[in-house]
């Protein structure tokens, strides 16, 4: 077997030390804002309590990892989802879009990007790259002294995890043990003889590229496995980018293309490349090994065009959903939208909530102010609902429950009018 990189004599101890370091970085990095943010959500409390448990007992994390992730999969809405293997005692974990939207990250959820555990023992069978974020998201742990980095091509395909279990090599994607991408990736791996070339103690992270995969970059019919990372499954040691070319050569695959980074170059220099038919780059800091992704503007234009209707923005879609049902939650709205939309969705929902709450409070004042006002002189926004309640009140047929329902109708009328006047919704109901 081919060995790549250093080994740890005590994987459990190494894992504990790594998580101690991760917990420290959470406390001293942008993650620490989670403890101060005033979310009206029990899920943030769960995240903070999880971090507290890790701080006080990191040495037991390997034993409790399965239990912890399973508990996050049972929340409503779920923060993590898992899939069980059809015939083997394996579970694969992946974070949900709701967790990503709420930015409720802990050491456990950062691992849940295709993490595979043996059911019942919590043994890590395949360890993917830790979740990494857009460079401008402010979530990664920035370097403190050495800001130099390497940059690899961000290949537009499907993440494939190549790992060994009970002497058998197999492929998985971020959330599945069986799909078309896995079939394609496994066929390529077998043809290359990777089951004979790879180290059983490692997890190999590939990008699966083949014709027919639904991606935005045109690879001209190429069918290949592109090496992204090699990780020691037990300890979590992540081979440096400088070692990947040699490993890829020994396996007979190509490594993600390296971008030249000159002394003094910042991430902005990579953004300015904005290459045609390229997704972007993955930056990896030399000091701490943290990764961030930089997506080219031209690529993002393609993504947005594919996820929106002509002349209909994402924020308009969100507002239309909220006007249909003001109790809609983020997880109902996110769907399969890329995370690049989350800030826009978050701001749109906050603006709607503020307007809606103000209008509901204003309803009772409007009743008093307009009780004796002729219909023609009533304020335009909310007039229909206001008149409905005043008529019921005069007839003595209005109940508190009915009043609450009409209050919501009034608020929706007012908010819809405000949004149209602000240009956030079209003037006409038809578009």
For the cut 50, the answer to whether the pLDDT of residue 53 exceeds it is no
The reported pLDDT for the residue numbered 73 is: 95
For the cut 80, the answer to whether the pLDDT of residue 387 exceeds it is yes
135-139, 223-227, 359-363: least confidently modelled range: 135-139
* pLDDT band, residue 143 (cuts 50/70/90): confident
For the cut 50, the answer to whether the pLDDT of residue 239 exceeds it is yes
pLDDT tens digit sequence for 334-368: 766 777 778 888 889 999 999 999 998 988 888 88
DSSP state of 31: G
The larger pLDDT score, comparing residue 8 to residue 428, is at: 428
Number of H helices, E strands in the chain: 15, 14
Whole-number Cα distances in Å, 225 to 94, 158, 183, 189, 199: 22, 10, 12, 8, 17
Q: Which of 362, 396, 352 is nearest to 382 (CA)?
A: 362
For the cut 90, the answer to whether the pLDDT of residue 104 exceeds it is no
Report CA 60 to chain centroid distance, whole Å.
Answer: 27
47-56, 138-147, 282-291, 371-380: least confidently modelled range: 47-56
Q: What are phi and psi of 254, to 5 degrees?
A: -100, 155
Q: Which of 217, 215, 223 is nearest to 186 (CA)?
A: 223
Share of the chain above pLDDT 90, in %: 48
Distance CA 234, CA 236 (A): 6
Can you name the CATH fold of 11-299?
Answer: D-amino Acid Aminotransferase; Chain A, domain 1 (3.30.470)
Runs of H (alpha helix) within 84-214:
97-102, 107-111, 180-192, 194-197
| Helix (H) or strand (E) run with residue 258 in it | strand 258-259
Q: In what order do the strands lie in the sheet with 291-295?
A: 133-134, 291-295, 280-285, 149-153, 258-259
**Averaged pLDDT, 44-52:** 42
Other Cβ atoms within 10 Å of 109 Cβ, number: 24
The reported pLDDT for the residue numbered 311 is: 61
Using alpha carbons only, give the angle 391, 395, 397 rounded to the nearest 5 degrees: 95
pLDDT tens digit sequence for 13-29: 444 444 444 333 333 33
The reported pLDDT for the residue numbered 382 is: 84
* pLDDT band, residue 430 (cuts 50/70/90): very low
pLDDT tens digit sequence for 151-210: 999 999 999 999 999 999 999 999 999 999 999 999 999 999 999 999 999 999 999 999
| Helix (H) or strand (E) run with residue 19 in it | helix 11-27
* pLDDT band, residue 308 (cuts 50/70/90): low
* pLDDT band, residue 46 (cuts 50/70/90): very low
* pLDDT band, residue 309 (cuts 50/70/90): low
For the cut 60, the answer to whether the pLDDT of residue 407 exceeds it is yes
The reported pLDDT for the residue numbered 207 is: 98
pTM: 0.69
171: β partners: 162
């Amino acid at each position: 077997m081919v060995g790549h990189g250093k080994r740890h004599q005590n994987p459990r101890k190494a894992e504990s030390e790594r998580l101690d370091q991760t917990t420290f970085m959470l406390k001293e990095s942008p993650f620490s804002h989670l403890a101060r943010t005033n979310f009206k959500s029990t899920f943030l409390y769960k995240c903070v309590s999880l971090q507290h448990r890790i701080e006080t007992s990191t040495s037991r994390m390997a034993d409790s990892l399965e239990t912890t992730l399973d508990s996050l999969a049972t929340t409503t809405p779920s923060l993590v989802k898992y899939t069980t293997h059809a015939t083997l005692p394996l579970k694969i974990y992946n974070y949900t879009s709701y967790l990503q939207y709420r930015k409720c990250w802990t050491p456990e959820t950062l691992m849940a990007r295709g993490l595979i555990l043996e059911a019942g023992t919590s043994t890590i069978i395949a360890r993917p790259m830790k979740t990494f974020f857009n460079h401008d998201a402010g979530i990664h742990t920035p370097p403190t002294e050495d800001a130099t980095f390497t940059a690899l091509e961000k290949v537009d395909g499907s993440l494939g995890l190549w790992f060994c279990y009970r002497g058998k090599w197999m492929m998985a994607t971020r959330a599945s043990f069986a799909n078309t991408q896995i079939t394609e990736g496994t066929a390529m791996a077998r043809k290359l003889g990777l089951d004979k070339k790879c180290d059983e103690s490692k997890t190999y992270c590939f990008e699966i590229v083949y014709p027919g995969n639904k991606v935005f970059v045109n690879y001209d019919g190429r069918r290949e496995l592109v090496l992204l990372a090699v990780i020691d499954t037990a300890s979590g040691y992540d081979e440096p980018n400088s070692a990947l070319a040699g490993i890829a050569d020994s396996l007979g695959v190509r490594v993600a293309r390296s971008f030249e980074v000159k002394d003094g170059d910042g991430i902005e220099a990579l953004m300015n490349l904005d290459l045609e038919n390229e997704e972007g780059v993955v930056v990896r800091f030399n000091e701490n090994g943290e990764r961030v992704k930089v997506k080219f503007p031209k690529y993002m234009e393609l993504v947005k065009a594919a996820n929106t209707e002509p002349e209909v923005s994402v924020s308009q879609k969100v507002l239309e959903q909220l006007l249909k049902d003001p109790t809609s939650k983020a997880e109902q709205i996110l769907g399969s939208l890329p995370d690049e939309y989350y800030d826009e969705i978050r701001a749109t929902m906050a603006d709607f909530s503020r307007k809606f709450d103000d209008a509901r409070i204003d309803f009772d004042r409007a009743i008093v102010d307009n009780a004796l006002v002729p219909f023609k002189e009533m304020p335009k926004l909310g007039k229909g609902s206001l008149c409905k309640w005043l008529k019921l009140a005069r007839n003595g047929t209005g109940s508190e429950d009915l009043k609450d329902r009409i209050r919501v109708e009034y608020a929706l009328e007012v908010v819809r009018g405000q949004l149209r006047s602000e240009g956030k919704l079209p003037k006409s109901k038809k578009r």
